[in-house]
Structure 1
Amino acid sequence: MVFDGGVRMRQLRPTRWFGHADQQSAPGDLDDLRAKLKKTQRALRRSRRDLAEAEAQLTAARSGLVLPDDVEKVLAGVREENLSYLNPTYLRTLALAVLDAERRGLPGAVVEAGTARGGSAIVMAAAKSAARPMYVYDVFGMIPPPTDSDGTDVHRRYEKITAGGAKGIGGSTYYGYRDDLYTEVQESFARHGSPVESSSVELVKGLFADTITLDEPVVLAHLDGDWYESTMTCLERLAPLIVPGGRIILDDYYAWSGCRTAVDEYFEGRAGWRREERAKLHLVRETPGA
């Protein structure tokens, strides 16, 4: 019984959750609950990152950093033609990073490693000055195989790709199955107002290990290499070149285990970088050094 000020009150019964209080949950029920909890936690983390992204773009807008109409037009065209897996918010993030570098007068090239059909690179090219160099690296064909450093999620995805089961953007042919992706990307740049010949853009075909040999400042590196080996190669060769105030944007950190492992290993104990948990992971160079 429960008493309050000498007044006899009703007897409280135990709260019963998921059936009778004296019954134990079956193992299957516990597994379902754990799975639901993990799913909810993932959704919560994603929502927090999306909120951080929205706050960052709002801060940029308040400071006067907004996409010009011509860049918005390019972005819309890229989306309409299914040239990028990225949604408009992510594409604006890349364009705003380029515009921010232009406004602040930061030196250095813009780099994209892993371009697929070229959409995100085209948007960044539209945002940069014609004189600023841009390097776009890709095999322009079938994605290279993962290694033992990648998790089962990556290997399952690669098996699906090589089996011919991958779907392209908006139902189009998957980029790795296209006959002449290099020419397609080159033509897409021109069609959207940034012909590579007159826009200081270089499309570099081949494995990252063979082609990324830059020895000049980099202000922005958008890394979309998916797997461990490609991501680590990019970090080892590009991170030391990022100028103070420049940044690396990791497209796949939240998506693929190999990319996540490579990033965590490379930046463990490495000073001089600020981590921004946004819709995509940003790593901002604060001080010079490797």
Structure 2
Amino acid sequence: MTDLPPTGAHHDGPVQLYLDLLKRCVTNVIYQDPPISPPWVPQTPFDLEARVDGLDCPSQAHTMVGFARLDNLRELTERVLRDGVPGDFLEAGVGRGGAMIFLRGVLKAYGVADRRVWLADSFQGFPEPPAEARYQLRDVYPELAGEADEGRRQAAEAMKALFLRGGSADDVRENFRRYDLLDEQVRLLPGWLADTLPTAAVQRLAILRVDNDLYDSTYLTLEHLYPRVSPGGYVVVDDYHFLDECRQAVHDYLKATGEPEPELITIDRCGVYWRRES
């Protein structure tokens, strides 16, 4: 395995150059695809700052998480490798696969061949939320607040479908293949999380990345997978600061464990992470 740099130290060697380019590719700041715009407004032009900050909805890029969350994912991966924390890496809520493409690239760059990258997703969009769910389209798109007409609601559903386009299991595999990162270390867990996670062949995790958006999916992921996170491993929650119900699910689960709540560290305007101590 290629030697890891000291914590926080990255130099302009081949590994750094490769991973920096990979980050720019999965976010597509190279060709700068425009974001998906709500159908009722003109096409929004590409905004480099928004893409770097992970605050737009790319039409083509393989991830929307931005540079800070990708840099954090790399740093945490290097930490668990450096510290010898046992376990694989899993993301629940995959989208187009870009974040885990990047993580797989980190493992490839350091010659790590004995850990798997798991991708858990329905690969068919979001489940229908219960009628009483706190998360509603109007929470994300203020244009839908109040007495929005049915046409706009249908338009918002169409926009969500456009974002998820390219997120089928076959599409995600193809995205990995395009980076020459599809191999036996990449494992997909297709299906609703309630069906796949309880019996998933995942023994231990060094990093669990949660990007489910919805309350039930976030809680369920933590319920079934947090106990498998190794001491010294990390949990990353992508939309903690962005979606109220995601944040509520995190605290409800941590409270239910009866353990002292860990220190949650902010990554950017959306994500947080914490280290599992025991």
Q: Which runs of 5+ in 2 are unaligned?
A: 1-5, 29-59, 145-150
Q: Is 1:68 equivalent to 2:53 in the alignment?
A: no
Match of 1:264 in 2: 251
What residue number does 1:277 align with?
266
The letter for the 1-side match of 2:69 is Y
Q: TM-score normalised to the size of structure 1?
A: 0.68
With the length of structure 2 as denominator, give the TM-score of the two structures. 0.71
Structure possessing the higher radius of gyration over alpha carbons: 1
Aligned to 2:162: 174
Q: Which amino acid aligns with 1:88?
A: F
Q: Secondary structure at the match of 1:163?
A: helix
C-alpha deviations, 1:15-60, integer Å up to 9, x for none? xxxxxxxxxxxxxxxxxxxxxxxxxxxxxxxxxxxxxxxxxxxx94
Instruction: Letter of the 2:8 partner, please give it.
Output: A
Aligned to 1:184: 171
Is 1:90 aligned to 2:69, yes or no?
Answer: yes
State the shift of 1:267 in Å: 1.0
Aligned CA distance change for structure 1 residues 265 and 148 (closer, same or farther; 3 Å): farther
Query: How many residues align structurally?
Result: 221
Aligned partner of 1:13 in structure 2 is none
1:154/1:227 contact within 8 Å kept = no
More helix by share: 1
**1:115-149 per-position Cα deviation (integer Å, ceiling 9, x unaligned):** 11111110011112232111101111221122366
* Structure 1: gaps (5+ residues): 1-58
Shift in Å, 1:150: 3.4
Q: Structure 1's 74 and 137: CA in aligned 2 closer, same or farther, altered over 3 A?
A: same
Q: How far 1:270 moved relative to its partner?
A: 2.2
Identity %: 25
Q: Which moved more, 1:261-270 or 1:201-210?
A: 261-270
Structure 2 Cα separation of the partners of residues 225 and 120 of structure 1: 14
Query: Which position in structure 2 is the counterpart of 1:141?
Result: 124
The amino acid across from 2:276 in the alignment is R
1:246 counterpart (221, 233, 236): 233
**Cα RMSD over matched residues?**
2.8
Letter aligned with residue 286 of structure 1 = E
Q: Distance in 2 between matches of 1:161 and 1:251?
A: 27
Q: 1:156–1:278: structure 2 CA closer, same or farther, 3 Å change rule?
A: closer
